[in-house]
Amino acid sequence: MPGILRNYKAGSIIYFIGDIGDDIYVLKSGVVSLEYHSIETGEETRETIKSGEFFGVKSSLAKRPREETAHVIRDSQVLVLSITEFENLVTKNVNIITNFLRVFSNQLRRMGKLAQSFLDHKSGGDIQGELFKIGEYYLKNHKYRQAQYVYETYLKHYKNGRFSSQATERLNSVKGAQEGKGLGTFTSMPATGVSEEEAPAPTVETDVEGKESIDVATKYYDAVSLFSQEKYDEAYKLFKTLHDAGVSDESAREYLPKIEFEMGRCLTALKKYKDAIAIFTNMIKNYPKDENLKEALFNIGLAYKLEGNKEKAVLFFNKVLKMLPEGPVDRKAKKELQSIKG
């Protein structure tokens, strides 16, 4: 078994928020609480780690300061892994990959249908395919740092693998997205590594009453593709259609915050700043815990700036900088503030 076993007494701290470290931890026994400030409310939040779960993963893989304090509640035994040890462990054991995805997805509060379907899948031992699918999950959910790590890991171990060309393409795209140079999306649906027989159903289906219904999940990426091609008006119209469909389709409602976010971006690109601000404000009101909350605040600030209201723009850019954890959007907010001041 790789790694080092360490024992921690109740009341001790494994690491503090803001600490720098590459170690990844697995709780073997005992109770550990992760304590951090909620992005949405600013209040202190606690998340209890269960035996067998990973923690300290996000900051280690992203090479960023710790986003939480790991507080030992009861005497605990913890397995400490280096990034290389963790990487070797998960790429050689599909069960560990599955458990890692389950825990990581819970921490990101984004356990959607795609993740659930993967977790319910009984792997036949195709480690290469399963690893690539994890990257696809993070890509679809706009978790670019995690997607980047998975694609880099895939290419490191499967340089000439079945999905090496797709992984390379996606890796370049998500790197651009993190630098604000793109959306991390493609003009076609991300490949899933399944055969044609296993491919998704058509984008237009018929319901029990014989009426046509829209496959919101697939059409969403078509709309994103239109945006990436700078076809903003077409993209907005498709997002609006999907939003209307999602309101009445319970299975598609998980896409509503994403759709509203993209509608706001389309309106900004179309220079309809007041409408964009209204859309983003409505999104924040309806989905205060959405993963794109900081991005929505940034885009409100950007719309105010483009509209000529620098005072309100500064207010929203500063709101972005006050929210934890830090990310690529913080750099964009700082750049906008400097442009206003300079």
Give domain status of residue 228, yes or no: yes
Last residue of a domain, one of 178, 195, 212: 195
Q: Are residues 337 and 216 in the same domain?
A: yes
Query: 105 vs 333, which has greater pLDDT?
Result: 333
Domain boundary among the residues 55, 82, 109 is at 82
Q: How many CB atoms lie within 10 A of CB 309?
A: 15
Instruction: Name the average pLDDT for the chain.
Output: 76
Q: Of 195, 222, 238, which residue is a domain's last?
A: 195
Q: Are residues 184 and 202 in the same domain?
A: no
Q: How far apart are CA 168 and CA 259, in angstroms?
A: 27
pTM of the model: 0.44
Same domain, 289 and 238: yes
Q: What percent of the chain has pLDDT over 70?
A: 70
Question: 57-71, 73-87, 108-122, 299-313: lowest mean pLDDT where?
Answer: 108-122
Tokens of 101: 């995805």
Task: Give the closest residue to 3 by CA, choosing from 94, 61, 66, 89.
Answer: 89
The pLDDT confidence band at residue 190, using thresholds 50, 70 and 90, is very low
More confident residue, 302 or 203: 302
The pLDDT-based confidence of 193 (bands split at 50, 70, 90) is very low
Whether the per-residue pLDDT at 60 is higher than 90: the answer is no
Within this chain, do residues 30 and 111 fall inside the same structural domain, yes or no? no
**Cα dihedral 260, 115, 101, 157 in deg (nearest 10):** -100
For residues 238 and 181, membership in a common domain is answered with no
301 and 318, same domain (yes or no): yes
Identify whether 334 is part of a domain: yes
Q: Which CATH number characterizes residue 204's domain?
A: 1.25.40.10
Same structural domain, 256 and 127: no
Q: Does residue 259 have a pLDDT over 50?
A: yes
Is 272 among the domain residues? Answer: yes
Residue at 144 is within a domain: yes
Do 180 and 204 lie in one domain? The reply is no
Q: What is the CATH number of the domain that holds 35?
A: 2.60.120.10
Number of domains in the chain: 3
Give the closest residue to 129 by CA, choosing from 216, 198, 215, 218: 198
Q: Helices 310-322 and 293-307, interaxial angle, to 10°?
A: 160
Residue range 205-232, pLDDT digits in tens: 333 333 334 567 667 767 877 787 788 9
Q: Is position 87 within any domain?
A: no
Look at residue 37 in the predicted model and tell me its pLDDT: 65
Range of the domain at 43: 1-82
pLDDT for position 251? 64
Q: Please give the Cα distance from 141 to 112 (Å, whole number).
A: 9
CB 185 within 8 A of CB 150: no
How many Cβ atoms from other residues are within 10 Å of residue 136's Cβ? 23
Q: Is there a single domain that holds both residue 129 and residue 164?
A: yes
101 shares a domain with 9: no
State how far the alpha carbon of 335 is from the alpha carbons of 23, 152, 163, 318, 342, in Å.
Answer: 32, 29, 37, 12, 10
Q: Tell me if residue 274 falls in helix, strand or coil.
A: helix
pLDDT tens digit sequence for 144-169: 777 787 788 888 888 888 888 888 88
Residue 34 lies in a domain: yes
In a domain, 130, yes or no: yes
In the chain, what's the furthest Cα-to-Cα distance? 63
Residues 203, 328 within the same domain: yes
